[in-house]
Amino acid sequence: MHLMSGLLERLRGIVGAEACLARPEELLVYECDGLTLHRAQPTAVVLPRSRDEVCRVVRACREFGVPFVPRGAGTGLSGGAVARGGGVVIECSRMDRIVLLDPVDRFAVVEPGVVNAELSKAAAPHGLFYAPDPSSQLVCTIGGNVAENSGGPHTLKYGTTTQHVLGLELVLPDGEVVQLGSRSGFAGGYDLVGAVVGSEGTLGIVTQATVRLEPIPERVETLLAIFPDVVSACRAVGGVIQAGLVPAALEIVDQRTIAAVEASVYAAGLPLDAGAVLLVEVDGPACSLPAQVQRIREIAAASGATRVEVARDAAERQRFWRARKGAFGAMGRLAPDLYVHDAVVPRARLPEVLARICAIGDRHGLRLSNVFHAGDGNLHPNISFDRRDPDELARVLAAGVEILEECVAAGGVITGEHGIGSEKRDFMGLLFSEADLDAMKRLRASFDPEGVCNPEKIFPSTRFCAESNPKARGYERVPFDP
Partner 1 sequence: MIPQASLRALRETLGPACVREDEGDRVDGEPLAPTLRPADAGALAEALRALGRLSLACVIRGGGSRLELGNPPRGASLLLSTAALAGVDEFDASEGVCHVGAGTPLAAIQALVEPSGWQLPLDPPGAGSTLGGALAAAALGPRAQGFGRPRDCVLGLEVALADGSRTHCGGRVVKNVTGYDLNKLYTGSLGTLGVIESAWLRLRPLPARVALLEFASDRLAAACAGALAAGRRPSARAASLLASRADTGARPFGVVIELAGDEASVERDAAWCGSELGAAPAAPDALARVRERQGSTPGGDGLRFRIAGLASRCALALAALEDAGAELLAHPALGLVYAGFALPGREDPEAAEAAFRCALAAAEAGGGAALLEAGPAWAKRGRDVFGDLGRALALARELKRRFDPAGLLNPGRFAGHL
CB of 407 vs partner 1, minimal distance in Å: 9
The answer to whether the CB of 117 falls within 8 A of the CB of 145 is no
CB of 426 to partner 1, least distance (A): 13
Tell me which residues in 269-288 interact with partner 1 (CB under 8 A). 284-285, 287-288
Residue 375 Cβ vs partner 1, minimum distance, rounded to whole Å: 9
Q: Which of 198, 201, 247, 361 binds partner 1 (CB under 8 A)?
A: 198
Residue 413 is given by DSSP the state: B
Q: Binders of partner 1 among 402-421, rule CB under 8 A?
A: 411-420
Complex with partner 1: residue 159 or 304, whichever CB lies closer: 159
CA distances from 84 to 43, 79, 151, 310 (A): 10, 9, 25, 48
Whose CA is closest to 142, among 83, 195, 212?
212
Counting contacts by CB under 8 A, is residue 241 touching partner 1?
yes
Contact 48, 94 (CB under 8 A): yes
Residues 396, 134, 375: CA angle, nearest 5 degrees: 80
190 contacts 246 by C-beta, under 8 angstroms: no
**Cβ nearer to partner 1, comparing 64 with 464:** 464
Q: How far apart are CA 419 and CA 343, in angstroms?
A: 10
Considering only residues 153 through 182, tell me which ones interact with partner 1, judged by CB under 8 A: 155, 159-160, 162-163, 172, 176-180, 182
Query: Which residues are within 8 A (CB) of 107 and not within 5 positions of it... i.e. 6 or more apart?
Result: 166, 183, 210, 211, 212, 213
Q: What's the rounded Cα separation, in Å, for the pair 415 and 433? A: 17
Integer CA distances (angstroms), 213 to 135, 148, 154, 191, in order: 19, 19, 14, 20
Establish if 220 lies at the interface with partner 1 (CB under 8 A): no
49 binds partner 1 (CB under 8 A): no
CA–CA separation, 5 and 186 (whole Å): 45
Q: Which is nearer to partner 1, 230 or 241 (CB)?
A: 241
| Smallest distance from partner 1 to CB 368, Å | 21
Q: Where are the alpha helices (DSSP H) in 224-379?
A: 230-242, 255-262, 289-302, 314-325, 327-331, 350-363
34 binds partner 1 (CB under 8 A): no
431 part of the interface to partner 1, by CB under 8 A: yes
**How long a stretch of residues is the chain?**
482
From residue 289 to residue 328, what is the string marking binding to partner 1 with x (rule CB under 8 A)?
--xx------------------------------------
Give 89 or 193: the residue with its C-beta nearer to partner 1: 193
Rounded distance between C-alpha atoms, residue 105 and residue 19, angstroms: 36
Stretch that binds partner 1, among 189-197, 264-272, 351-359, 385-393 (CB under 8 A): 189-197
Choices 129-137, 146-154, 260-268, 386-394; region in contact with partner 1 by CB under 8 A: 146-154
470 binds partner 1 (CB under 8 A): no
Q: 394: Cβ–Cβ under 8 A, 6 or more apart, which residues?
A: none
Decide: is 140 part of the binding site for partner 1 (CB under 8 A): no
Say whether residue 246 binds partner 1 (CB under 8 A): yes
Positions in 75-134 near partner 1 (CB under 8 A): 104-105
Q: Out of 24, 189, 470, 474, point to the residue binding partner 1 (CB under 8 A).
A: 189
> Is residue 21 within 8 Å of residue 48, measured between CB atoms?
no
Which residues, numbered 325-354, are part of the site for partner 1 (CB under 8 A)?
344-348
Q: Which stretch binds partner 1 (CB under 8 A): 11-19, 91-99, 436-444, 466-474?
A: 436-444
